[in-house]
Chain A
Amino acid sequence: MHPIRHHIMKAAEKRHVIGAITIVGLFYIGPYLPESITLLAFFAVACMAMTTHAGSLRVALVASLSFLLSLLSLVLRGWKSFAGTPLTFGEAVEESVVLMVLATLIFGTLTWIKRLLSAEKASMDKVLEACNVYVWIAGTFAFLYTVLGRFDPSAFRCAQLMPLGSALPTVNEWRVDVQQMLFYSFMTQTTLGLGDMIPVTHMARVLTVTQAIIGQFYVAVVLAYILNLWMQDLRRGVEKKSEQKSDSELPRH
């Protein structure tokens, strides 16, 4: 095999690590980047995961459909946002991109979890993948919260950013907004709940509670499932080393 192709294959095997590092990296350095780069990075990660699990055609379909639908509905509403404020063309495109990323993330997560739970055997790689999905779910919920916050600006109350009755965050504020929501999302999913941002409207509360339950049950169900599979594999590997070797060796060359 050609060495470059070999490297690409190796990179493809490490995709969960790359994806998780990207999301966590965005979490850390996101405030210092322009928001279009953040969005594009999210979108790239989502597409990467989806192409490996669902095929590139469906990825393109979901992404373009969600983008076009949201843009079309914005055009039909006369360039007004869902909360009723007028938008420029650039802002409308940006808002549709947010919705597109959301749709792609949700679709990607669903296909991924389905594949993860149907796995028959697991390795260290699978465990890493499971940890990655955890981060991934948090990212999805962060976008969900962002979209919700745009539909209804009073959905979340937080001391500095969104006092009662404040206006919809502008595009310049949005970058901060998605960072806030990413933080909020992680805080909820790990069931930390520091309480500096609280959900106020009913929809926000429901989503928050759902995420908290997912956060607890994900660790208990999916991680325990994968770890159990992995440990059983390890135990068998110790017992019958020679047989296991021929099974687990990937045919790379």
Chain B
Amino acid sequence: MIGGIILLTILFAGHYIPVTLSLLLLVVITWMALLSYSGFLATILISGLSFLIPFGILAYRNWNGIGMLHLGPAVSSELSLELSVLFSMIFGAAIWVRAILRSKKAGFDEVVGAINLYAWIATIYGCLYTVISRLNPHAFLFHDTLIQALSQDQMRHNFNELFYFSFVTQTTVGYGDILPISHFARSLAVSQAMIGQFYVAVVLTYILNLWISDLKKPGTPDGVSKD
């Protein structure tokens, strides 16, 4: 519940706070979720390793990214932080989905949790897009009218833009103001749209069915036993 609220707050206020702060907030809520589903040690291990390994690699390569783009220590620590968020969130989401699909009963709280997980998946893809866009600057194309507000270079490195793109893709809205260009970015966007549809169809329906049959049980016991 709290995680979902923080996530939505980042979505609303992320524009006005520095990117590093919102990334750190993401790490915190990821930890919260991970701690409730798996052990403390695994959490620290995953997020620490996924921060240190890219950071180390980048330091070893003299702060040069893939494709010999010079990044500098500040940008590369940001990139490592994004990767850390990405991996711990992927790990968290995997555990979470497993826990949801295994649960035998559900209340209204679980439904809220499922909606939360939806935002969670969108955030994962937002991180993924940011990392891709950092590694390959031509992965995403921004609409002309948007570039008038922000320079193309600023847009590309903006976590918030791609976060927005991620949500637009996952809800299958697809305005087309930000377009995936490179092959990898395209296949990711398509897979996210598919996940967005199937999540609502499969996971939500599963939980809702559990919830409704739970609701029916105390009042009318004969209402459920048929199915």
Contact = CB atoms under 8 A, between A and B. Distances in A.
B24 to A, nearest CB: 20
A212 B11 CA distance: 14
B223 A209 contact: no
B145 A202 contact: no
Nearest to A200: B149
Contacts of A229: 212
Contacts of B204: 217, 220-221, 224
A213 B143 contact: no
B140 to A, nearest CB: 15
A195 B174 contact: yes
Contacts of B205: 220, 224
A198 B148 CA distance: 14
- Count chain B CB atoms within 10 A of each CB in A154, A198, A225 and give the residue with the most: A198
Contact of A202 (B143, B148, B160, B208): B160
A198 B145 contact: yes
Interface string A221-235: 100110011001001
B12 A191 contact: no
B167 interface: yes
- The SS class assigned to the A binding surface is helix
A206 interface: yes
B145 A216 contact: no
Contacts of B160: 202
Nearest to B196: A216
B171 A216 contact: yes
A3 B147 CA distance: 65
A188 interface: yes
A164 B167 CA distance: 25
A224 B212 CA distance: 10
B118 interface: yes
B219 A120 contact: yes
Given A164-B145, A232-B223, A216 B200 contact: yes
A212 B208 contact: no
Interface of A: 120, 154, 157, 164, 188, 191-193, 195, 198-200, 202, 205-206, 208-209, 212-213, 215-217, 220-221, 224-225, 228-229, 232, 235-236
Given A120-B219, A213-B118, 20 more contacts: A191-B172, A193-B172, A193-B173, A195-B175, A198-B175, A198-B177, A202-B14, A206-B12, A208-B168, A209-B168, A209-B171, A212-B168, A213-B171, A216-B171, A216-B172, A220-B200, A220-B208, A221-B115, A221-B208, A236-B223
